[in-house]
Amino acid sequence: MAVIRYEPYRDPVEQLMSLAASGRRAALAMPIDVYRTQDGSYHVEADLPGADPGTIEVTVEHSTLTLSAQRNAAYGETDHVVAAERPQGTFSRQLTLGEGVDPDHLTATYADGVLQVTVPASPKVQPRRIEVTHAPPAGGTAAKAAPKPAHP
């Protein structure tokens, strides 16, 4: 599985040429939007038109969210292809989850060619007061000051 890095300040033509030369088209085939709502949850929307719903996988391992899907050509080997511009194959994207999210309660839906994943915010940790107890000094009794020696 290839990890495609997004470099927004790199020349777009150079990016396309680099992807074409490497044979990787996943970033172009699965564009995503990620946004955070006021409640702190993150929403990921990935465009996957024509993807077989049975091949769509959303996994979380450690702090990495992985989205993958497969799109196969509708034409067969014996068909004469006039134009084939739509990417085919398995596509994957990986996102690193930060702190403050609850990956155990992720939800995902796929409708109208769009995969929607919601990563909820962690339940807010309420501050709590810790009681401080006083323990007796070692030996169970208060230490007495030793008398000072007298100077002649």
**pLDDT averaged over 10-residue windows placed end to end, the chain, 152 residues:** 47 53 55 90 93 94 92 90 88 88 91 94 71 82 57 60
pLDDT of residue 1: 34
pLDDT of residue 5: 52
pLDDT of residue 131: 87
Q: For the whole model, what pTM was predicted?
A: 0.62
Domain annotation covers residue 12:
no
Per the structure, the count of domains in the chain is: 1
- The CATH number of residue 95's host domain is 2.60.40.790
113 class by beta-carbon count within 10 Å (0-12 exposed, 13-18 middle, 19+ buried): exposed
Our CA dihedral for 12, 45, 74, 16, rounded to 10 degrees, sits at 10
pLDDT of residue 135: 86
Domain annotation covers residue 87:
yes
Domain annotation covers residue 144:
no
pLDDT of residue 129: 80
Q: Which domain holds residue 79?
A: 28-119
Q: Helix or strand or coil: residue 91? A: strand
Domain annotation covers residue 143:
no
pLDDT of residue 130: 83
